[in-house]
Structure 1
Amino acid sequence: MASAADQDGLVLLRQSISASKAFIPSASADAAAPEVPLAQATHLDLRSIYFAWLNREVAIPEYNASATKLNDELATAGATGKVQNLGFIERLDLITWLEGASEESEYIKPLAGDKDGSAAGAATAAKAGAVSSTAHARSGKGTMDPRLASIYNGERKMGDRNTVLRGIKPTDFSHVRKLAAPFIQKKSHPGSNNISANPSLALNPKAPTRRPDPIILLSPSASSLLRLSNARTFLQDGKFAPAESSDSTATRIHVQRIIPAVDPNRPMRFILVEGSGQFKPEYWNHVVAVFTTGQTWQFKNYKWSDANDLFQHTLGIYVGWRGDQPPDNVSGWGHRVLSTGVDRWRGEGHDASRFRDKEIVEQIWKSIEANMRSRGWRKDAAPTSI
């Protein structure tokens, strides 16, 4: 069994988070050294990732400002490195992986020499720009004593089932393809004996990529009935409650939903945000719906700032009070915007009056599903353009 000392610092950081163990920046290799400000730490290889984890709950503007401030402090302290300002999706994906909510990340790749990622104590490297160390590291603090490291180097390394079965290098079994061809041809129907028609026998098939999560944009307007504070309760649980006017710094939430037309067996995770300030151009290909109050200033910084252009590329959704007329703008945008209404809020204890909420939620999800199907969402891939 590989010891914890043989693991990469990024793996150790994730394990420390899972076990609620302390990981502290230090200016000394001494295990008893006190904690120092991040700008003064000299024994933390994962500064950018550690910084992103510490600021996982703050809003994007505050996160950017903190990163700028820390880089100024690093420059003042004479440090050569800088904290990389991670993008919105990169930061979200990294935090989800560190928390243990996901076992894979498109931004974290195995180190050279362990491409299959299956060996015990596999080391991983972050694409986000943080330097990953393969040195014998403690949990975010210092390197191993050289004398102890020499003892570990003299140990006899025990193999695991992967090295016993496969060896230290991947084996190319492509020659078996030629041996299997006659048997496949005999069992195939006439006219279908071409081995290239069977993708399972393709030579060096391209490894599947992780499908991005679809994105739903909420309106940041204070008059919107649906905000980050109540969207999950409404869209996932089918119950409407007024949005809370709290001091929460949350910038996104997740909603799980099975979309039968895309993947009938596995729930899809939707990312809900109220703005597109941190979007990269390709993120717009993942937008499946835009909630609106009819106020056009919401679209000012969107890829398509004109509402008519926007709703030609994605679905618009308006949620108002049942019985009220939707705004003129919403009516003018026509069938490209789904107009719905929920019963007025009568206060806690009147749950019996909320029975229509699930009906509205199902109507919304059916429209989102139809839009995703028409835009090319598949079980294993997202559209490359919308």
Structure 2
Amino acid sequence: MATPDLDPLLLLRQSIASNSAILPTASTDAAAPEASLSTATHLTFTTPTRISIPIDTPTRFASNDTPVDLRSIYFAWLKREVAIPEYNASATQLNDDLTTGKVQNLAFVERLDLITWLEGASEESEYIKPLAGDKHGAASNAAAALASKGAAAPAIGTTLGRSGKGALDPRLAVIYNSERKMGNWNSALRGIKPTDFSHVRKLAAPFMSKKPSGNAVSHISSNPSLALNQKQKRPDPIILLSPSASALLRMTNIKSFLESGKYVPVDSLTASSSSSASMLHINRLMKDIDPNRPMRFILVEGPEQFKPEYWSRVVAVFTTGQSWQFKNYKWSNPNELFRHVLGVYVGWRHEQPPEAVQAWGHRVMAVGVERWKDMGPNAVDSSRWRDREAVEQIWKAIEGNMRSKGWKKDQAPASI
């Protein structure tokens, strides 16, 4: 049974936070020399104490409800800065060199979530299960928080107290986890069953239709607290496109690509089908955020008309790898920008992304589409079915990033 100071994920995160050595070894001896990942049988951590853990140990990180082994977790961390094609190629090469075991390829969203958690940028992960006996993840979250600050993990069999000071007996921790949560007056009055007050709107309609007198208007305007609180509308998320002429996706063809899953080059569009609009709207159902109504996305090529609060609504930035695109952005440095916003690079399939895109690391998603073949008016290119596959991959990454930033069915995050 894993405890906070023996849990492989927490040990790995703590070692990363303290810049301590993590050594693959081919022996159970903690003092064994470093070996290659293809021949290693153990992973040796040097902080807080030198300890070796079998490299095929299952971790609490689950992919499709299947625990991912420590070798795959460590390999994903080593390849955190490479693009998806290079990560997949490296995993294939390592699997060919392994005599026993196999490196598990993590999906883009899973790998992004894992690396974000290991770096200490997030204290929670939907793919990481709590420690055994820690129903609400209090012990693991506390140990992870200490790890991200470079502090030692709690001792075996202990967890932090509710005030965050000192140690707490594990038996008391079980008792605290079983406590009944007390609500405030608001939750007590509302209860556990939502009440539908839509009928009140019909009763209030006759009164709302009557125009108030001038004095009443001025009285309400001078006292905002007296104005009726209307239901706040969820703002539309924003996607920024690259204004570069070399971009495969522009305002003229992005709508058909993201909505219909079909790529058509800009120069192949007819004058009637092309668009010179400076802003487009696309509707997409994001099932994990709001399964009942589609979300409307706003697509623009630049932030020239942005208000400061608009940046919290930006959910993706399409780029060609040219840094001049970000000159007027809130974060003009690409490395800083992609810490806040998901980057998307769309290029030709089987071609490496530009060096700049690769240098920006895992926060920029690289997607390839098949090269365009002009088959004539009545011919059909059979390879274009891959376009929809690329589009779904992009939307899945955008949805996962939106959920991690705090998008909900009735509100948007205040900041990103």
Smaller-chain TM-score bracket: 0.3 to 0.5
Question: TM-score, normalising length from structure 2?
Answer: 0.44
Question: TM-score, normalising length from structure 1?
Answer: 0.48
